[in-house]
Amino acid sequence: MNLKVAHVGIVAIALLTAGCSTQSMSEPEPGTSAASVPPARAPRHVDKSDRPHVTFDPCLDLPDTTLIEAGYDPASEENTDFTPDEYTFLGCSYDTPRRLYGLNILSGNISFAEEQEKTKAYAKQIDVNGRRALLKLEADQPDACAISIETTYGVLIVDRSVFKGTGAPAPESEWCAGLEDTARIFERYIPKEG
């Protein structure tokens, strides 16, 4: 049996057993957001702080078709959770089919203000589908670029690395090329409330 089909079957059974609707797992219509229906499940991790729970889990809330639309291989998924007691980051990493890019998607409950303060030396304020965001390009981090998007619970970080396979860094003009488009694709799934 195909592992992907088995995984989908297990998820469907878990949803039915928990009495959840699969509606929150469906893709939003173009121009709308999945955020109108927050996830019905408990977060995979809850830290010991009084910070909000992370209500968007990129490992569970981004459909494979969306990852493919953004140019990434769903089968390359690896868990990148970071869960100390003080805050939570739920995350997954993906590669493009020919490994030109590696992508980490991290959903965390640090505040957008904290992220602004931490990155003020190298971040530029931008807008992603009407949300405040930061484009982060550090000169001493070649081949990497990230966007932090404000959410109701904290931030979603879309962090990409460029792999040329030559050992030499890619031109700086390539570090962030197209990353805002990728962030706009993923933003559609971030809850607008809660």
Q: Express each pLDDT in 10-65 by its tens digit.
A: 333 333 333 333 333 344 444 444 444 444 678 888 899 999 999 999 999 999 99
Question: How large is the average pLDDT for residues 123-130?
Answer: 98
Cα-atom radius of gyration of the chain, to the nearest Å? 17
Question: How large is the average pLDDT for residues 154-161?
Answer: 97
Q: Express each pLDDT in 68-109 by its tens digit.
A: 999 999 999 999 999 999 999 999 999 998 878 999 999 999
pLDDT, position 40? 61
Question: In which band, very low, low, confident or very high, does the pLDDT at 143 lie, cut at 50, 70 and 90?
Answer: very high
Of 6 and 35, the one with more pLDDT = 35
- At residue 6, does pLDDT exceed 70? no
pTM > 0.85: yes or no = no
pLDDT, position 141? 85
